Amino acid sequence: MSGLIHAASAFWRALVRRPQAGVSRETLREGMVSTDAPRVAFTAGLRSPGIENRCPVCQARFRGARICSRCGADLEPLMILSVKAWQLREKARQALEAGDLERALGLAGEAQGIQVTDSGEALRLLGAWLKDCGAN
């Protein structure tokens, strides 16, 4: 069954685009987010397929800045949640590749609880399908 897990994992990687440059993977994994400057780039996790991030005050699109360019609202809490959800999806993918279906399913569900995305739902469904198939 490990062949099925590896094939599904490879399929998943082909579907999901890697995050864009801006914030390093190490910075995201460590949860280190700079709050010193009024504008901080949070590109990874914010510009992923199926995610439409908007300012909750004026509905302007996120531009990778902590402060909304249109209304001046502080977007950092929402950006941190988006990055956290992205980190959880990455950990779920890694758990899936390692064959830990229970953990992958739990992490994907937790990510969806923070931020619902198409790719997160696809990951959750893939984990559930593999678990139902008895791939572990």
pLDDT of 65 reads 87
Summarised one tens digit per residue, pLDDT across range 120-129 is 999 999 988 9
Q: What would the pLDDT profile of 26-82 be if each residue is shown by its tens digit?
A: 444 444 444 333 333 444 444 455 566 789 899 998 888 899 999 999 999 988 998
Q: pTM for this one?
A: 0.62
| Residue 94 vs residue 16, higher pLDDT | 94
Domain count, the chain: 1
**Does the structure show a pLDDT above 50 at 112?**
yes
Range of the domain at 88: 2-132
Which letter, b or e, does each residue of 25-40 get, where b requires 16 or more Cβ atoms within 10 Å of its Cβ?
eeebeeeebeeeeeeb
